[in-house]
Chains A and B, each alone.
Chain A
Amino acid sequence: QVQVVESGGGVVQPGRSLRLSCAVSGFTFSRYGMHWVRQAPGKGLEWVAAISDSAKQIYYADSVKDRFTISKDKSKNMVYLQMNSLTNEDTAVYFCARDLRDSWSFDYWGQGTPVTVSS
């Protein structure tokens, strides 16, 4: 069965960096794009970034553009989110989700990893 498991969250000071990881299994990773979606405490969902199946197309929300980098390692079935220049507004639970092919949606989600930016 499809599994999506995030890791790497924690407490980090403003201005510092953090890398989140997402391990996937149960499907042919090379055929699917992946997304990161976040949810600030008590708030709604916010789409963060997407990477295509081939990794040739990458997209970011304006709020993280030029600070966050999404990538994937096909040999390890892993997706990453490198987060730089973190601010308090980046505090959230970060979810990794599989792209629903040809439907521009997200079908399988991980349980999320919490990130707290605080001094």
Chain B
Amino acid sequence: QQQVKQSPQSLIVQKGGIPIINCAYENTAFDYFPWYQQFPGKGPALLIAIRPDVSEKKEGRFTISFNKSAKQFSLHIMDSQPGDSATYFCAAAIIQGGSEKLVFGKGTKLTVNP
């Protein structure tokens, strides 16, 4: 059973565009939702994270929108650049329960064309 569903699988935008990646979760006990960026041959790197008590969080060009009632969250990348081309993963965890296990989505391969 896939606990975090991510879409789309791949995404191509032009430089300056605003790619949007969506995730949906099933377990309402999740209370921490991070996004990771992964370049080929590298491990994932934490980009931005949100807790369910806020609906939006912005850090630089990256914004998370969170809809608790719909059990969905999304990543928006403003003014995208070719250097943003990477695979992006959403994830979820139940940190209040004492577990530090992250459950990841399957990833979105983003290509930003010059």
Same complex origin of A and B: no
Footprint of A on B, CB under 8 Å?
none
